[in-house]
Structure 1
Amino acid sequence: MHTLPDIGADPAATTALAADLDAAGFTVDRVDALWGTEAAASLHRGSRVAALRALAARETSPLGTLATLFVLGLPTPRADAAAAFPTAGLDAVVAAGLLAADGDEVHPTVDLRPYAFVDDLGAGSWWIVSDLGELALGHAISEEHVLGIGGATTTLSGLQVPVPVRTVLDLGTGCGIQAMHARRFAEHVVATDISRRALDIARFNAQLNGIDGIDFRYGSLFEPVAGERFDRIVSNPPFVITPRRPGVPSYEYRDGGMVGDALVETVLRGLSEHLEPGGTAQLLGNWEYHWGVDGLDRVRSWFADTDLDAWVIERERQDPTSYAETWIRDGGTKPGTPEFDTLMGAWLDDFADRRVTGVGFGYVVVRRALPGGTASLRRFERVPETLGSNPAGLGATVARVLDAAAWLAAHDDAALATAHLTVAGDVTEERYYWPGNDDPTVMTLVQGGGLGRRVDADTALAAFVGACDGDLSVAAIVGALAQITGVDEQVLAADLLPVARDLVLDGLLLPA
């Protein structure tokens, strides 16, 4: 079993280490430029060969040494490593648990790589420590593995609402990346985890990047924050559905130790107790489909007796076999081995015993009602289409949808009829014609940002949206269209008002 090192250093040593990383130009762009886009793509697919060949053609530099050690996970000569840390000193980096010295060579004990992002406050970059992956280790990862930056990481960070608040809870912080993102919009962040090692790494990452105001706490789920409420909760919980059977490894970063999707249910049911009135939550999760029971219907039932607005987006659904293969490979067990086959059997037996027919994955957005208010948004949908032009920046879309839901709840049909609406700036219209015909056969409203919605429109809806420029009320536009088309005004209003509500919620139409 691979022994994981303790991670930590005094503030002075961490500051010196950051100075060395900065002086070497240890950034995403500079590292990618070391070996080029093709080698970077190959590295992402799990092969270091192209990157190593590119490095071999260059002279040794501190940047090349850092990339070899921490990105490729390979040893370097001790002299090269010492040259890469002129301020901190190699001994301090070894003492911090990032490297191990072995004679004339130095080996990496963690993954440390640059990370770049853009949010509503602008562009930013950090260095993130996590545990070495399967490629560097050459074998399956440890059950205490602390995960670094991945697709789920960027999804959730982009999903966070970019609105300043007082307090945020990061439930299951892992390497600390979500807490660090949350701190950009919060005065104070509490980050919890059941892994003391994860908390050590998260604390080190915050310190390495000069981020204060984060309180790291040990414990399971909401136990470390019993009796506390927050303006925002974010979580990429350990939602992976893993058989609770002997011989099946349970990874702290992804497996919550409960049967099926019970951990996600527990987290969602606990949100109301820990959100301030008007507070929001953004989470990722899995949910099971059972024989005769839709997965989203199961999620809907978890909110039935709460005062929470809920918007659940299922982005993907996997059959039991595909799901099992995905997560067994994620742990480093290779297909075609006896170990892989044994784990597949355990997974499929578990799904069959519990009558699971599939697993959905997606996003959960929640808002607690204000005092005296009630839940006004209960939306459970499948959005498998490609995201809009900026999938990493969905937080602004989340904020707008929540605002739109509140506006719609305050406007019944009579109030909506008196409202003035405008078309959002990212909305275009596609029209398709049969050859030789003057009238379009298909019209589609297309949203350029957000979730990239596409809404089929008939002539009346296209004309209605086209007239929403803020000058006329909804009722005035409907009346004019009824007069032009010869359709009864009340009948036309009954057709258009529900669609107008959906378009406001989706962001294609905006209250003027």
Structure 2
Amino acid sequence: MDTPRTEPALVDALRADLAAAGFTVTGVDELLGPVASDALHREEQVPALRATASSDEPAAALIRAFVLGAPVRRRALERALPTVGVAGAARLGLVASSGTAADDEVHALVDLRPYTALDAVDPGGETREVDWWIASDLGELATGRALRTDHVLGVGGASTTLAQVTVRRPVARALDLGTGCGIQSLHALLHAGRVTATDISHRALAFARFNAALAGVRAEGQGTESPTHLAASDRTDGAAHPPAGPAAPTAPARLDLRLGSMLDPVAGERFDLVVSNPPFVITPRDPDVPTYEYRDAGRTGDAIVRELVTGVRAVLAPGGVAQLLGNWEVRRGERWDERVGEWLAESGLSGWVVQRELQDPAQYAETWIRDGGTTPDRDREAWRTSYDAWLDDFASRDVEAIGFGIVTLVDDGLGWARLEEVTGTVQQPLGPSIEASVRARAALATRDLADLRLVVAPDVTEERYLTPGDVDPQIILLRQGGGFGRTVQAGTALAALVGACDGELTVGQIVAALGALLERPAHEVAAEVLPAVEGLVVDGLLTV
């Protein structure tokens, strides 16, 4: 078996050793220093290898083995893992050793690294820091080879994005569709009573189970089998293995792992939250182009994202929220929001799509060919063959660009749709901002805006631009410091209304006072400012 094994006592020992060694995001950055850390983020490992070469710190051996894929001496790894030991790590399927002598080399079989994130707690914007260790397959940086087609990916940029934009309201049941290494499930377990995680890959489910155990969570369901012993042929060295630990905890498992494609494993069930970082990469259906389970769903074009958007309602509970990442094709003669807007209309749900990036076909092809480990320096012929196939595939459908973004779907019965492009810097986590916007739409749907008492959000500032000598400003801007960082240009009446929103008066009362002040009928002032006020509420610049 080429995935980690989950034996509770050994996993507990491993967790204690990793913590004691200071193998944390902060600890790694401090040991490597800014130059080597930055280089590693750019997929350059030489500075990190140099920074750890002569270090006796336990974390140095862990970095070299599990992050950089370099061989380490057995004695160094024994010092770093004094409780679980090299034999225990081998029993878990994490390392292989050339022998039992102190100077024998030990090689990591998996990538294992610390992970930390600020996780949103509620729409009020409170956050908490989470710290885990996440195992996945060794990447191309460590192996120097193209990825295997059943590669299990660790925490990448897309995974981080989804975790930060997810609405973190307390829910009874959550679904992690296409769980991969299980990172979205770990986040969901912080605010969900029970999480169901699905994947088409046996190997992904095995990694997800191990990562859950390392985070202190027991899993059940498919892909959770764990051997209580290893045959002699399975052992990676000649040392005596530590005794197997006690049986798994008897407390009910809150993570249910299921093998299957898309929504098939959960047909007929309902969830309050669905999150998915699906295999959305648009890959040519060409025998010369390798397909990778973690990123390719075997569909043509952007069909997988369309299927999810239009089909997820079948598993959403009333009031439920689904959030996913995706790519979509922008075809000749169409705007990006036309195609995706049709999917929203077909879904029967309220929907909010934020396009964060747009690439031309050549950029897109280069990104994903490199992602699989093929480069022009390593294999020029394979690079050219794949590049041609990707461009031919896009040309066959008149694709001029490919969008990447975030989709939020809500089963609220209101039928609203919002499609926008936000390519600038945003303040993460965005989950609280998205949740607040969804709640605001619900409030506006059930109550008269004129009857609401509003308050200016604490992160909103006002900027006024005047020509020297003038009394009245020519431009008034309302700026949002957090969330999507929106800037709204306001007229005099709207700025005055926002300035009066301290929760004491209703919007209607403020409008009436503005009418008297401006010597204009109140209904004219209302017609001018109320649509903008509604937008400010939805965007979080004004709160109920």
Asked whether the two chains share a fold, i.e. TM above 0.5, the reply is yes
CA distance in 1, matches of 2:466, 2:26: 46
CA deviation digits over 1:92-129, x for unaligned, max 9? 21132211212421111111001112222622211100
Matches within 5 A, 1:399-414: 399-411=435-447
How far off its partner does 1:175 sit?
A: 0.3
Preserved contact between residue 6 and residue 209 of structure 2 (Cα < 8 Å): no
Q: Which amino acid aligns with 2:526?
A: A
- What SS does the corresponding residue of 1:434 show, helix, strand or coil? coil
After TM superposition, the score normalised by the length of structure 2 is 0.89
Per mean C-alpha deviation after superposition, the further-off stretch among 317-326 and 117-126 is 117-126
Q: Distance in 2 between matches of 1:241 and 1:314?
A: 16
Select the residue among 75, 87, 90 that pairs with 1:79.
75
Question: Secondary structure at 1:65's aligned position in 2?
Answer: helix
Deviation of 1:84 (Å): 2.3
Cα distance in 2 for partners of 1:83, 1:469 equals 60
Q: State how far apart, in whole Å, the 1-side matches of 2:535 and 2:383 are.
A: 46
1:334 corresponding residue in structure 2: 375
Give the residue type in structure 2 aligned to 1:28.
Answer: V
**In 1: Cα distance, 2:337 partner to 2:376 partner:** 31
Whole-angstrom CA distance in 2 between matches of 1:62 and 1:473: 62
Which moves more between the two structures, 376-385 or 482-491? 482-491
The answer to whether structure 1 residue 94 and structure 2 residue 86 are counterparts is no
Contact in 1 for aligned 2:280/2:302 (Cα 8 Å): yes
Contact 2:6–2:213 (CA<8 Å) still a contact in 1? Answer: no
Q: How does 1:139-288 map to 2 (within 5 A)?
A: 139-212=145-218, 213-288=254-329
The equivalent of 1:349 in structure 2 is 392
- In 2, distance between residues paired with 1:130 and 1:488? 65
Amino acid in structure 2 at the alignment position of 1:341: R
8 A Cα contact 1:376 1:409, kept in partner: no
How big is the shift at 1:479? 2.3
Cα distance, 1:81 vs structure 2:
2.0
What does residue 386 of structure 1 align with? 425
1:449 alignment partner AA: G
Partner SS state of residue 245, structure 1: coil
CA distance in 2, matches of 1:378, 1:338: 45
Cα deviation digits, residues 429-477 of structure 1 (max 9, x gap): 1122233333322211001111111111121211111111222222222
Distance in 1 (alpha carbons) for counterparts of 2:14 and 2:155 = 20
Aligned residue pair count: 497
Code of the aligned partner of 2:150: E
The 10-residue stretch of structure 1 (258-267 or 469-478) with the greater mean CA deviation from structure 2: 469-478
Query: Aligned partners of 2:43 and 2:195: how far apart in 1?
Result: 35
> Partners of 1:364 and 1:46 in 2: how far apart?
29
* Equivalent AA in structure 2 for residue 403 of structure 1: R
CA distance in 2, matches of 1:53, 1:292: 52
- Name the aligned partner's letter for residue 408 of structure 1: L
1:268-305 superposed Cα distances (whole Å, 9 cap, x missing partner): 11211101111111111111111222222212211224
8 A Cα contact 2:52 2:61, kept in partner: no
Task: State the alpha-carbon separation in 2 of the partners of residues 13 and 508 from structure 1.
Answer: 50
Which amino acid is 1:27 matched to? T
* Structure 1 position 57, deviation (Å): 4.2
CA contact (8 A) 1:9 1:95 kept: no
User: Hey, what's the Cα distance between the residues in 1 that align with 2:80 and 2:455?
Assistant: 57
Distance 1:335 1:433, change over 3 A: farther
Paired amino acid for 2:422: V
* Identical residues among aligned pairs (%): 52
Q: Secondary structure at the match of 2:180?
A: coil
Say if 1:307 and 1:375, in contact at 8 Å, map to a contact too.
no
Partner of 2:16: 19
Q: Distance in 1 between matches of 2:283 and 2:154?
A: 21
Residue identity opposite 2:144 in structure 1: G
How big is the shift at 1:248? 0.5
| C-alpha separation in 2, matches of 1:49 and 1:356 | 39
**Equivalents in 1 of 2:481, 2:299: separation in Å?**
40
Amino acid at match of 1:398: I
What amino acid sits opposite 1:110 in the alignment? Answer: V
- Given that residues 175 and 196 in structure 2 are in contact (C-alpha distance below 8 angstroms), is that contact kept between their aligned partners in structure 1? yes
Distance in 1 of aligned mates of 2:477 and 2:491: 9
Residue ranges of structure 1 left out of the alignment (5+ in a row): none
CA distance in 2, matches of 1:464, 1:298: 38
* Residue in structure 1 matching 2:356, options 306, 312, 315: 315
In 2, Cα distance between the equivalents of 1:471 and 1:266?
A: 47
Work out the CA distance in 2 between the residues paired with 1:267 and 1:90: 43
The answer to whether structure 1 residue 362 and structure 2 residue 362 are counterparts is no
Cross-structure match for 1:461? 494
**In structure 2, what residue type is equivalent to 1:171?**
L
Larger CA deviation: 229-238 vs 91-100: 91-100
In 2, Cα distance between equivalents of 1:299 and 1:457: 30
Computed over aligned residues only, the root mean square deviation of the Cα atoms, in angstroms, reads 1.5
Q: For 1:340 and 1:431, locate their aligned partners in 2 and report how far apart those are by CA, in whole Å.
A: 54
Counterpart-to-counterpart distance in 1, 2:207 and 2:355: 31
Q: CA deviation at 1:502?
A: 0.5
1:508 aligns with 2:541: yes
What is the CA–CA distance in structure 2 between the aligned matches of 1:508 and 1:307, rounded to whole Å? 28
Q: Which residue in the other structure is 1:398 paired with?
A: 434
For 1:109, the equivalent position in structure 2 comes to 109
The 5-angstrom pairing of residues 49-64 of structure 1 reads 49-58=46-55, 60-64=56-60
Distance 1:443 1:340 in 2: 52
> For structure 1, which segment, 257-266 or 483-492, has the greater mean C-alpha deviation from structure 2 after superposition?
483-492
- Alignment of 1:428 with 2:471, yes or no, is no
Rounded to whole Å, the distance in 2 between the matches of 1:475 and 1:80 is 71
1:289-332 per-position Cα deviation (integer Å, ceiling 9, x unaligned) = 11222222212211224441211111111111111111111111
> Map of 1:28-47 to 2, 5 A cutoff?
28-47=25-44
Aligned twin of 1:118: 118
Partner of 2:3: 6
What letter is aligned with 1:115? Y
SS of the counterpart of 1:491?
helix
Deviations 1:373-426 (A, max 9, x none): x224211111122103xx1x2111121111001011113xxx212322221111
Cα distance in 2 for residues equivalent to 1:304 and 1:427: 33
* CA–CA distance in structure 2, aligned partners of residues 298 and 339 of structure 1: 33
Match of 1:377 among 416, 422, 427: 416
SS of residue paired to 2:16: helix
Letter matched to residue 496 of structure 1: V
More contact order relative to length (CA 8 Å, sep ≥ 6): 2
